[in-house]
């Protein structure tokens, strides 16, 4: 991991964390801190125009308020934190941003209409609102409806960013009853409509590094991306760890948006999201985000639809602990040694109602048409950055098989006359700390009108060393695991009929005639492989019944006779002598 990459990433992360709660402060602070993106040849320039301010019963006069909104926060921070006013009305604020990108001068104009603060006591406004806002650039225009909030805590926000002494390190309400009404965005190529965003409350506490220091650090890192400074990286890490525990919020909802326009080839297209929900944020937890009714459609080309997509929460506790405990100077060696400790406990994701109908990029004239009813990935019980409990599954995987596929397995299915699949799978396993084992709950594959195969079992001698941060220790632990027990369940739902029909056609025979022949061959093979085993006849008989069609399900159990079970050495020996495993296990089988 390069320190240069780390520095850029941490600077961006710090800015992103603050963006979610710093919106009321950002326009004014923009005057204090200028950024210089890599692709620009000159820093962005900001100009703020505020024609008038109407301050009624205010402890700060209108001219000073105008100066504060224009960027003079630091000079008036104490007066602002203790502001009292019956009302403050700013009819118009115009922020003009001028930048040069690739030698071309670009200008954007952000306009706020009727900013109103009412019943402000001790730096807390009973209500705050903006009647409307708009944003104009050379090739686009956006308009938003009103934005409002109650209990707008100006002093609390300044305290969070270390600009004033908050008097407490406890969480305090920064604003409540937040509502941003919908709006529109238009360019020559696309027109969009946005729904409202709302949330009950955002709370925060003072962070250990002031906002000015954070932005200064970020600016220094961006200005000197090729300079390795372990001390700066260490400071950024500890600062970030602090920021991740400084805020909490209620659930926020977004009523979605819809866009229509044309693609690069001039074809009409639409892009829609029905709604989104972000669960409540809490210290050290990045909340779950859920999106519903996603759709992209290009007329005459294809479409992708998704009923729901849910990104589950991230538990950042281990990440925060590692960053907070980082040394004063974070070297590349420290990052490599602690990389897994920095990994958050990601709980996974899920989606439902996926539908795809698009051209196949690898085959002219062919299309990829597929559906997935449900998919879920659940990860839990992390140990040193590795989940020790995994459960992933999918159902209703439906697709047309491509006729000209070069994939050998797909071609085998096509040769059997299978042109469509409707399948599912599940993989579920968990480490058992008390027994030092891995419980394989289920490894399964199913196909509608084909078959279902389910494998379960126990892997013994799986110690916590498997999750060691020491790669050699983890490797040795992996070499020491053993298969204690396995259970295989197979249910035939029509696959054997298809296979036999193809085999019979090749031989010019009747499938019904071949069944007992194949059944006898299978039984004989099993008994031959288990020669000398006392229970060889039972598995042979069960397989005969299954292959002959007298039974539709086959159950086979294998259990090691001695603890801990079949080792890696046993399986390596079995590569040359498969029969060597027979005497080391008990085998049971049944068919019905």
Residue 180: name the closest of 257, 247, 108, 90 by CA: 257
pTM of the model: 0.85
Residue 468 lies in a domain: yes
- How do residues 158-210 score in pLDDT, each as one tens digit? 999 888 887 788 999 999 999 999 999 999 889 999 999 999 999 999 998 87
Residue 283 lies in a domain: no
pLDDT band for position 334 (cuts 50, 70, 90): very high
pLDDT band for position 223 (cuts 50, 70, 90): confident
- How do residues 448-492 score in pLDDT, each as one tens digit? 989 999 999 999 999 999 999 999 999 999 999 999 999 999 999
Q: What is the DSSP letter of 196?
A: -
Residue 123: name the closest of 168, 53, 69, 58 by CA: 58
**391 or 576, which is more confident:** 391
Among candidate residues 198, 233, 248, the one where a domain is terminated: 248
Residue 14 lies in a domain: yes
Is residue 395's pLDDT more than 80?
yes
Residue 508 lies in a domain: yes
Residue 372 lies in a domain: no
- How do residues 518-561 score in pLDDT, each as one tens digit? 888 888 888 777 765 666 778 888 999 988 889 999 999 999 99
Strand ranges (DSSP E) for 279-407? 285-286, 289-298, 302-311, 314-315, 345-346, 348-359, 367-383, 386-400
What are 51-54's contacts with CB under 8 Å, separation 24+? 51/91, 51/92, 52/90, 52/91, 52/92, 53/88, 53/89, 53/90, 54/87, 54/88, 54/89, 54/90, 54/91
Number of domains in the chain: 2
Strand ranges (DSSP E) for 138-256? 140-144, 147-153, 172-180, 183-187, 190-194, 197-204, 247-249, 252-254
- How do residues 255-269 score in pLDDT, each as one tens digit? 999 999 988 888 999
Range of the domain at 423: 400-591
- How do residues 19-58 score in pLDDT, each as one tens digit? 333 333 333 333 333 344 444 445 678 899 999 999 999 9
Residue 94 lies in a domain: yes
Among candidate residues 248, 265, 298, the one where a domain is terminated: 248
Among candidate residues 248, 265, 288, the one where a domain is terminated: 248
Residue 327 lies in a domain: no
Residue 334 lies in a domain: no
């Amino acid at each position: 991991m390069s320190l240069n990459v780390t520095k850029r990433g941490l600077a961006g992360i710090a800015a992103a964390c603050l963006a979610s709660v710093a919106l009321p402060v950002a326009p004014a602070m923009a005057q204090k801190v200028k950024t210089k993106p890599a692709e620009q040849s000159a820093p962005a320039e900001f100009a703020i125009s505020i024609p008038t301010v109407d301050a009624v019963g205010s402890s700060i006069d209108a001219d000073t308020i105008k100066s504060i909104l224009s960027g003079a926060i630091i000079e008036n921070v104490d007066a602002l934190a203790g502001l009292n006013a019956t009302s403050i009305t700013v009819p118009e604020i115009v922020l003009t941003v001028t930048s040069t990108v690739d030698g071309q001068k670009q200008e954007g104009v952000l306009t706020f209409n009727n900013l109103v603060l009412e019943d402000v006591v001790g730096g807390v406004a009973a209500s705050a609102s903006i009647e409307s806002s708009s944003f104009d650039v050379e090739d686009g225009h956006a308009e938003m409806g009103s934005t409002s909030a109650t209990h707008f805590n100006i002093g609390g926000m300044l305290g969070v960013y270390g600009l004033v002494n908050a008097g407490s390190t406890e969480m305090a309400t920064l604003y409540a009853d937040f509502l941003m009404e919908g709006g529109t965005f238009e360019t020559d190529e696309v027109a969009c409509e946005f729904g409202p965003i709302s949330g009950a409350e955002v709370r925060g506490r003072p962070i250990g590094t002031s906002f000015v220091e954070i932005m200064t650090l970020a600016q220094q890192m961006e200005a000197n991306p090729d300079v390795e400074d372990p001390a700066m990286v260490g400071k950024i890490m500890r600062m970030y760890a602090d920021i991740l525990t400084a805020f909490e919020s209620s659930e926020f909802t977004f009523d979605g948006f819809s866009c229509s326009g044309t693609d690069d080839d001039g074809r009409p297209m639409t892009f829609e999201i029905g709604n989104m929900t972000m669960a409540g944020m809490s210290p050290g937890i990045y909340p779950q985000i859920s999106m519903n009714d996603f759709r992209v459609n290009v007329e005459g080309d294809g479409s992708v639809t998704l009923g729901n997509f849910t990104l589950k929460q991230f538990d950042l506790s281990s990440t925060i602990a590692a960053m907070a405990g980082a040394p004063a100077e974070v070297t590349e060696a420290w990052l490599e040694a602690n990389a897994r400790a920095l990994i958050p406990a990601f709980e996974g994701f899920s989606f439902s109602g996926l539908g795809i109908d698009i051209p196949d990029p690898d085959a002219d004239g062919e299309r990829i048409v597929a559906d997935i009813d449900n998919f879920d990935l659940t990860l839990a019980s992390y140990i040193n950055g590795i989940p020790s409990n995994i459960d992933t599954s999918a159902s209703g995987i439906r697709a047309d098989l491509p006729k000209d596929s070069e994939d050998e397995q797909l071609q085998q299915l096509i040769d059997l006359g299978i042109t469509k699949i409707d399948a599912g799978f599940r993989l579920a396993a968990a480490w058992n700390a008390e027994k030092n084992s891995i419980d394989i709950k289920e490894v399964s594959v199913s196909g509608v009108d084909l078959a279902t195969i389910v494998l379960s079992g126990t892997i013994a001698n799986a110690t916590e060393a498997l999750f060691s941060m020491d790669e050699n220790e983890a490797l040795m632990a992996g070499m020491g695991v053993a298969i204690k027990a396995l259970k295989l369940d197979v249910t035939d739902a029509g696959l054997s009929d298809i296979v036999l029909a193809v085999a019979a056609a090749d031989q010019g025979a009747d499938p019904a005639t071949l069944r007992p022949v194949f059944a006898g061959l299978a039984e004989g093979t099993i008994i031959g492989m288990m020669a000398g085993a006392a229970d060889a006849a039972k598995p042979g008989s069960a397989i005969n019944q299954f292959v002959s069609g007298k039974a539709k399900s086959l159950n086979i159990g294998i259990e090691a006779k001695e603890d801990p079970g079949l080792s890696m050495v046993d399986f390596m020996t079995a590569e040359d002598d498969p029969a060597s495993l027979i005497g080391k296990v008990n085998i049971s089988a049944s068919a019905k």
